[in-house]
Amino acid sequence: MIAIADYDTGNLRSVSEALRRAGAEFVVTSDIGTLRRADKVILPGVGEASASMARLRERGLDTVLPTLTCPVLGICVGLQLMCRSSDEGGGVDCMGIFPVRVVRLPEATPEGRWKVPHMGWDTIGELRTPLFAGLDEETYVYYVHSYAPQCGADTIAVTDYGMRFSAALGRGNFFGTQFHPEKSGAAGARILENFLNMK
């Protein structure tokens, strides 16, 4: 059974629909026992990181999620909460599964101006790990975000938009994407399928 972690972040619908299209059985839950028993856990997220982290703490999920041994996938803010900290909302300590900081995207660089949020289809490159099996370098995926994780040893995909950031992170059984695979057409469906096929 796949568990989608529910911490009142809103809009779990698109992830649920993507799993339904993939033919996967899943539950949406905030129950710690159910999350511990799950074969896979997905941590979605939209909205603001510090408020989201507070809701995760209220439910005690911030101490449970890092101890899971099954494959875990964070999406967008879900991934950001798995990082060490986020600069959003005045700064907040996150779960620290990936030892990188989440920073705001620059709006101006020597190359020019960058519209923030970074919204639309952008390419991912330097792909590593089975999460990206079957995907070509420079595949387009869908983004909507103003903050992004810096690059580090756990970076398994990168995107350049004003700065180079981690499009995805992976460490042991933990994975996360800054983009939205559930909205990324066939490429996104393949990434979710790759995650669902992990042991």
Partner 1 sequence: MLAKRIIPCLDVCDGRTVTAVRFVDLRNVGDPVELGARYAEQGADELVYLDISATFEGRRTFTSLVSRIAARIDIPFTVGGGIASIDDAGRLLDAGADKITVNSAAVRDPALIDAIAAKYGSQFVVVAIDARQIDGVWRVTTHGGRRLTERELFAWSREAWERGAGEILLTSMDHDGTRNGYPCDLFAQLSQRLPIPIVASGGAGSVEHIVEVLTRGRADAALAASIFHYGDITIPELKRQLQACGVPVRL
For partner 1, the binding residues (CB under 8 A) are 10-11, 13-14, 17-18, 20-21, 46-47, 107, 113, 115-123, 140, 142, 144, 160-161, 182-186, 188-189
Nearer to partner 1, 18 or 82 (CB): 18
Nearer to partner 1, 115 or 128 (CB): 115
Look up 137 and say whether it is catalytic.
no
Residue in 76, 83, 94, 145 annotated catalytic: 76
Residue 138 amino acid letter: E
Look up 58 and say whether it is catalytic.
no
Under 8 Å between Cβ of 80 and 102:
yes
What sign has the CA pseudo-torsion 129, 131, 134, 135? negative
CA separation for the pair 186, 45 (Å, rounded): 21
State the nearest-atom distance from the C-beta of 132 to partner 1, in Å: 17
DSSP 8-state secondary structure symbol assigned to residue 75: E
Nearer to partner 1, 140 or 150 (CB): 140
Cα 138 vs. chain centroid, distance in angstroms? Answer: 19
Please identify every residue annotated as catalytic.
76, 180, 182
